[in-house]
Amino acid sequence: MKYKDWLDEWLELYVKISAKERTYKKYRQQAEKYIVPLLGDYDADELSAVVLQKFSVSLAKRELAPNSVNFIVAVLKASLKKGVLLGVIDRSYADAIVRPKVRTSKVACFSKEEQKKIEQYIFDKQQPVLFGILLCLYTGLRIGELLALTWEDVDLKKGIVSVSKSCHDSWENGHYVKVFDTTKTQSSERVIPLPKQIVACLKFLRRTTKTRFVVIGKSEYGAQIRSYQRTFELVLKKLKIGHRGFHALRHTFATRALEVGMDVKTLSEILGHQNPMITLTRYAHSLMEHKAEMMNKVGRLLG
Protein backbone atom coordinates (compact mmCIF):
# COMPACT_ATOMS: atom_id res chain seq x y z
CA MET A 1 0.00 0.00 0.00
CA LYS A 2 1.37 3.38 -0.97
CA TYR A 3 1.98 5.56 2.08
CA LYS A 4 0.05 8.47 0.54
CA ASP A 5 -3.03 6.23 0.25
CA TRP A 6 -2.79 5.22 3.90
CA LEU A 7 -2.17 8.83 4.94
CA ASP A 8 -5.35 9.94 3.18
CA GLU A 9 -7.32 7.08 4.72
CA TRP A 10 -5.99 7.87 8.20
CA LEU A 11 -6.90 11.54 7.90
CA GLU A 12 -10.45 10.81 6.72
CA LEU A 13 -11.32 7.85 8.95
CA TYR A 14 -9.55 8.69 12.17
CA VAL A 15 -8.45 12.33 12.42
CA LYS A 16 -11.50 13.97 10.88
CA ILE A 17 -13.98 12.34 13.25
CA SER A 18 -11.95 12.80 16.44
CA ALA A 19 -10.24 16.18 16.10
CA LYS A 20 -11.51 19.72 15.71
CA GLU A 21 -12.23 20.74 12.13
CA ARG A 22 -9.44 23.28 12.32
CA THR A 23 -6.98 20.63 13.53
CA TYR A 24 -8.01 18.24 10.78
CA LYS A 25 -7.53 20.91 8.13
CA LYS A 26 -4.09 21.75 9.50
CA TYR A 27 -3.09 18.06 9.51
CA ARG A 28 -4.21 17.65 5.92
CA GLN A 29 -2.57 20.87 4.78
CA GLN A 30 0.81 19.89 6.26
CA ALA A 31 0.51 16.34 4.93
CA GLU A 32 -0.23 17.47 1.36
CA LYS A 33 2.39 20.23 1.38
CA TYR A 34 5.33 18.46 2.98
CA ILE A 35 4.80 14.74 3.58
CA VAL A 36 3.18 13.46 0.39
CA PRO A 37 5.67 15.07 -2.06
CA LEU A 38 8.65 13.40 -0.34
CA LEU A 39 7.24 10.18 1.13
CA GLY A 40 3.91 9.61 -0.57
CA ASP A 41 5.14 7.25 -3.32
CA TYR A 42 6.93 4.93 -0.91
CA ASP A 43 5.26 1.68 0.04
CA ALA A 44 4.29 2.07 3.68
CA ASP A 45 6.65 -0.74 4.72
CA GLU A 46 9.58 0.95 2.93
CA LEU A 47 9.65 3.85 5.36
CA SER A 48 12.80 2.83 7.21
CA ALA A 49 14.45 4.73 10.05
CA VAL A 50 16.98 6.25 7.64
CA VAL A 51 14.30 7.35 5.16
CA LEU A 52 12.31 9.02 7.94
CA GLN A 53 15.38 10.74 9.40
CA LYS A 54 16.38 12.08 5.98
CA PHE A 55 12.86 13.46 5.67
CA SER A 56 13.17 15.22 9.04
CA VAL A 57 16.53 16.72 8.08
CA SER A 58 15.18 17.87 4.71
CA LEU A 59 12.44 19.80 6.51
CA ALA A 60 14.99 21.56 8.68
CA LYS A 61 16.95 22.55 5.56
CA ARG A 62 13.87 24.36 4.23
CA GLU A 63 14.41 26.89 7.02
CA LEU A 64 11.12 25.98 8.63
CA ALA A 65 10.76 26.90 12.28
CA PRO A 66 11.62 24.01 14.64
CA ASN A 67 8.04 23.97 15.93
CA SER A 68 6.76 23.61 12.36
CA VAL A 69 9.11 20.70 11.72
CA ASN A 70 8.00 19.07 14.95
CA PHE A 71 4.35 19.41 13.99
CA ILE A 72 4.91 17.82 10.57
CA VAL A 73 6.90 14.97 12.12
CA ALA A 74 4.14 14.50 14.71
CA VAL A 75 1.59 14.03 11.90
CA LEU A 76 3.88 11.52 10.23
CA LYS A 77 4.47 9.55 13.44
CA ALA A 78 0.79 9.47 14.39
CA SER A 79 -0.21 8.09 10.98
CA LEU A 80 2.47 5.37 11.07
CA LYS A 81 1.67 4.28 14.62
CA LYS A 82 -2.03 3.96 13.78
CA GLY A 83 -1.08 1.96 10.69
CA VAL A 84 0.91 -0.51 12.79
CA LEU A 85 -1.90 -0.76 15.34
CA LEU A 86 -4.38 -1.65 12.61
CA GLY A 87 -2.03 -4.04 10.80
CA VAL A 88 -1.81 -1.87 7.68
CA ILE A 89 1.93 -1.39 8.25
CA ASP A 90 4.22 -4.12 9.54
CA ARG A 91 6.53 -1.91 11.54
CA SER A 92 7.04 1.77 12.29
CA TYR A 93 10.41 3.42 12.78
CA ALA A 94 8.79 6.72 13.75
CA ASP A 95 10.26 6.72 17.26
CA ALA A 96 13.75 6.64 15.76
CA ILE A 97 13.30 10.13 14.26
CA VAL A 98 15.52 12.73 15.91
CA ARG A 99 13.76 16.07 15.83
CA PRO A 100 15.49 19.47 15.74
CA LYS A 101 16.01 21.26 19.02
CA VAL A 102 13.29 23.72 19.95
CA ARG A 103 14.15 26.87 21.81
CA THR A 104 11.38 28.27 23.96
CA SER A 105 10.59 31.70 22.57
CA LYS A 106 10.61 34.62 24.95
CA VAL A 107 7.16 35.67 26.09
CA ALA A 108 6.36 39.04 24.53
CA CYS A 109 4.32 41.42 26.65
CA PHE A 110 3.80 45.15 27.00
CA SER A 111 5.55 47.26 29.61
CA LYS A 112 3.44 49.06 32.19
CA GLU A 113 3.98 52.33 30.33
CA GLU A 114 2.91 50.81 27.01
CA GLN A 115 -0.13 49.23 28.63
CA LYS A 116 -1.21 52.59 30.06
CA LYS A 117 -0.86 54.18 26.62
CA ILE A 118 -3.09 51.51 25.08
CA GLU A 119 -5.69 51.85 27.82
CA GLN A 120 -5.75 55.64 27.59
CA TYR A 121 -6.16 55.46 23.81
CA ILE A 122 -9.17 53.16 24.21
CA PHE A 123 -10.82 55.44 26.78
CA ASP A 124 -10.13 58.55 24.71
CA LYS A 125 -11.56 57.06 21.51
CA GLN A 126 -14.65 55.53 23.15
CA GLN A 127 -15.06 53.20 20.17
CA PRO A 128 -16.96 50.04 21.25
CA VAL A 129 -14.85 47.78 19.02
CA LEU A 130 -11.69 48.66 20.98
CA PHE A 131 -12.98 47.53 24.37
CA GLY A 132 -12.20 43.94 23.46
CA ILE A 133 -8.51 44.84 23.73
CA LEU A 134 -9.08 46.16 27.26
CA LEU A 135 -11.00 43.01 28.18
CA CYS A 136 -8.06 40.85 27.11
CA LEU A 137 -5.63 42.94 29.13
CA TYR A 138 -7.62 42.17 32.29
CA THR A 139 -8.79 38.59 31.68
CA GLY A 140 -6.11 36.95 29.54
CA LEU A 141 -8.64 35.75 26.96
CA ARG A 142 -7.32 34.32 23.70
CA ILE A 143 -8.48 36.22 20.62
CA GLY A 144 -10.68 33.32 19.48
CA GLU A 145 -12.36 33.20 22.90
CA LEU A 146 -12.85 36.97 22.92
CA LEU A 147 -14.49 37.16 19.50
CA ALA A 148 -16.78 34.22 20.28
CA LEU A 149 -18.13 35.93 23.41
CA THR A 150 -21.81 36.86 23.38
CA TRP A 151 -23.63 38.84 26.01
CA GLU A 152 -25.21 35.58 27.20
CA ASP A 153 -21.71 34.61 28.37
CA VAL A 154 -21.38 37.73 30.53
CA ASP A 155 -23.13 38.04 33.90
CA LEU A 156 -22.80 41.71 34.82
CA LYS A 157 -24.59 41.25 38.16
CA LYS A 158 -22.21 38.55 39.35
CA GLY A 159 -19.27 40.10 37.52
CA ILE A 160 -18.18 36.97 35.68
CA VAL A 161 -17.59 35.83 32.12
CA SER A 162 -18.06 32.21 31.03
CA VAL A 163 -15.68 30.89 28.38
CA SER A 164 -17.27 27.91 26.62
CA LYS A 165 -16.40 28.37 22.95
CA SER A 166 -13.88 29.83 20.55
CA CYS A 167 -13.73 30.83 16.90
CA HIS A 168 -11.29 31.03 14.01
CA ASP A 169 -11.15 32.29 10.44
CA SER A 170 -11.52 29.78 7.62
CA TRP A 171 -10.81 30.40 3.94
CA GLU A 172 -13.91 29.38 1.97
CA ASN A 173 -15.03 30.32 -1.54
CA GLY A 174 -12.38 32.98 -1.89
CA HIS A 175 -12.87 34.82 1.39
CA TYR A 176 -12.51 34.39 5.15
CA VAL A 177 -15.49 33.30 7.21
CA LYS A 178 -15.88 33.10 10.97
CA VAL A 179 -16.14 29.53 12.25
CA PHE A 180 -17.21 28.73 15.82
CA ASP A 181 -15.73 25.79 17.67
CA THR A 182 -15.09 24.41 21.13
CA THR A 183 -12.34 25.88 23.29
CA LYS A 184 -8.69 24.95 22.75
CA THR A 185 -8.78 22.27 25.48
CA GLN A 186 -11.28 21.07 28.04
CA SER A 187 -9.49 23.08 30.73
CA SER A 188 -10.00 26.18 28.58
CA GLU A 189 -13.68 26.07 29.49
CA ARG A 190 -13.75 28.28 32.55
CA VAL A 191 -15.47 31.05 34.48
CA ILE A 192 -13.44 34.23 35.00
CA PRO A 193 -14.28 36.75 37.75
CA LEU A 194 -14.03 40.27 36.35
CA PRO A 195 -12.38 43.27 38.06
CA LYS A 196 -15.01 45.82 39.12
CA GLN A 197 -13.52 48.39 36.76
CA ILE A 198 -13.98 46.05 33.79
CA VAL A 199 -17.57 45.30 34.84
CA ALA A 200 -18.24 49.07 34.72
CA CYS A 201 -16.76 49.24 31.21
CA LEU A 202 -18.87 46.29 30.04
CA LYS A 203 -22.05 47.85 31.46
CA PHE A 204 -21.31 50.98 29.45
CA LEU A 205 -20.61 48.86 26.37
CA ARG A 206 -23.84 46.91 26.84
CA ARG A 207 -25.85 50.15 26.91
CA THR A 208 -24.22 51.54 23.79
CA THR A 209 -24.28 48.46 21.53
CA LYS A 210 -27.18 46.35 20.34
CA THR A 211 -25.30 43.39 18.88
CA ARG A 212 -25.33 39.86 20.27
CA PHE A 213 -21.53 39.67 20.32
CA VAL A 214 -19.45 41.57 22.86
CA VAL A 215 -16.99 42.70 20.18
CA ILE A 216 -18.87 44.21 17.28
CA GLY A 217 -17.98 43.60 13.64
CA LYS A 218 -19.27 44.24 10.15
CA SER A 219 -21.58 41.22 10.26
CA GLU A 220 -24.14 39.94 12.73
CA TYR A 221 -21.53 37.41 13.93
CA GLY A 222 -19.19 40.05 15.29
CA ALA A 223 -15.58 40.76 14.39
CA GLN A 224 -13.39 38.28 12.53
CA ILE A 225 -9.95 37.25 13.73
CA ARG A 226 -7.86 38.82 10.95
CA SER A 227 -9.89 42.01 10.94
CA TYR A 228 -9.51 42.45 14.69
CA GLN A 229 -5.79 41.71 14.55
CA ARG A 230 -5.44 44.50 11.99
CA THR A 231 -7.40 46.85 14.25
CA PHE A 232 -4.98 46.06 17.07
CA GLU A 233 -1.96 46.59 14.80
CA LEU A 234 -3.28 50.03 13.83
CA VAL A 235 -3.63 50.98 17.51
CA LEU A 236 0.01 50.06 18.16
CA LYS A 237 1.12 51.94 15.06
CA LYS A 238 -0.73 55.10 16.07
CA LEU A 239 0.79 54.90 19.56
CA LYS A 240 4.25 54.19 18.09
CA ILE A 241 4.53 51.01 20.13
CA GLY A 242 6.65 48.23 18.64
CA HIS A 243 4.76 45.47 16.87
CA ARG A 244 3.59 42.53 18.95
CA GLY A 245 0.96 39.96 18.16
CA PHE A 246 -2.48 40.06 19.75
CA HIS A 247 -1.46 37.19 22.03
CA ALA A 248 0.87 39.64 23.80
CA LEU A 249 -2.23 40.97 25.57
CA ARG A 250 -2.70 37.57 27.21
CA HIS A 251 0.98 37.47 28.18
CA THR A 252 0.71 40.99 29.58
CA PHE A 253 -2.25 40.04 31.75
CA ALA A 254 -0.36 37.03 33.15
CA THR A 255 2.74 39.12 33.83
CA ARG A 256 0.80 41.89 35.62
CA ALA A 257 -1.13 39.29 37.63
CA LEU A 258 2.11 37.76 38.91
CA GLU A 259 3.54 41.19 39.62
CA VAL A 260 0.63 42.07 41.92
CA GLY A 261 0.99 38.77 43.77
CA MET A 262 -1.59 36.44 42.20
CA ASP A 263 -0.70 32.83 42.99
CA VAL A 264 0.19 30.53 40.10
CA LYS A 265 -2.71 28.09 40.75
CA THR A 266 -5.31 30.87 40.46
CA LEU A 267 -3.64 32.36 37.39
CA SER A 268 -3.48 28.93 35.75
CA GLU A 269 -7.24 28.46 36.17
CA ILE A 270 -8.02 31.94 34.84
CA LEU A 271 -5.81 31.38 31.78
CA GLY A 272 -7.33 27.95 31.19
CA HIS A 273 -4.04 26.05 31.36
CA GLN A 274 -4.18 22.31 31.93
CA ASN A 275 -2.04 22.60 35.06
CA PRO A 276 -0.09 25.24 37.03
CA MET A 277 3.25 23.83 35.83
CA ILE A 278 2.50 25.12 32.32
CA THR A 279 1.88 28.59 33.75
CA LEU A 280 4.95 28.47 35.96
CA THR A 281 7.21 27.36 33.11
CA ARG A 282 5.89 29.93 30.67
CA TYR A 283 5.97 32.90 33.01
CA ALA A 284 8.90 32.08 35.28
CA HIS A 285 10.72 35.20 34.05
CA SER A 286 7.83 37.35 35.28
CA LEU A 287 8.48 36.19 38.83
CA MET A 288 12.03 37.60 38.88
CA GLU A 289 11.09 40.76 40.79
CA HIS A 290 9.19 38.68 43.33
CA LYS A 291 12.14 36.29 43.64
CA ALA A 292 14.51 39.21 44.22
CA GLU A 293 12.22 40.61 46.92
CA MET A 294 12.06 37.27 48.70
CA MET A 295 15.84 36.82 48.49
CA ASN A 296 16.36 40.26 49.99
CA LYS A 297 14.15 39.25 52.91
CA VAL A 298 16.34 36.21 53.43
CA GLY A 299 19.40 38.42 53.11
CA ARG A 300 18.22 40.57 56.01
CA LEU A 301 19.04 37.66 58.31
CA LEU A 302 22.71 38.41 57.70
CA GLY A 303 23.95 40.78 60.38
Beta strands 154-155; 160-163: pairing state: antiparallel
Domain ranges (residues) in the chain: 3-96, 112-291
CA proximity to 136, closest of 250, 248, 271? 250
CATH number of 112-291: 1.10.443.10
For residue range 108-121, what is the model confidence (pLDDT) as tens digits?
A: 889 999 999 999 99
Q: Quickly state the pLDDT bin for 189 (edges 50, 70, 90).
A: very high
Query: For the segment 134-163, what is each residue's pLDDT rounded down to a tens digit?
Result: 999 999 999 999 999 999 999 999 999 999
How far lies 198's CA from each of 146, 175, 214, in Å? 14, 34, 13
When comparing pLDDT for 40 and 68, which is higher?
40
Residue 66 has pLDDT above 80, yes or no: no
CATH number at 3-96: 1.10.150.130
pLDDT band at 240 (very low <50, low <70, confident <90, very high): very high
Any idea which of 13-27, 137-151, 237-251 has the lowest mean pLDDT?
Answer: 13-27
Q: What is the chain's mean pLDDT, rounded? A: 89
User: Strand, helix or coil at 241?
Assistant: coil
pLDDT per residue as tens digits for the range 228-237: 999 999 999 9
Higher pLDDT, 242 or 176: 242
Which phi and psi angles does 158 have, rounded to 5°? -85, -15
Average pLDDT of the segment spanning 286-294: 76
Identical fold for domains 3-96 and 112-291, yes or no, is no
Most confident of 117-121, 172-176, 181-185: 117-121
pTM: 0.74
How many Cβ atoms are within 10 Å of 116's Cβ, its own excluded? 11
Confidence class for position 105, pLDDT limits 50, 70, 90: low
pLDDT band of 106, cuts 50, 70, 90? low
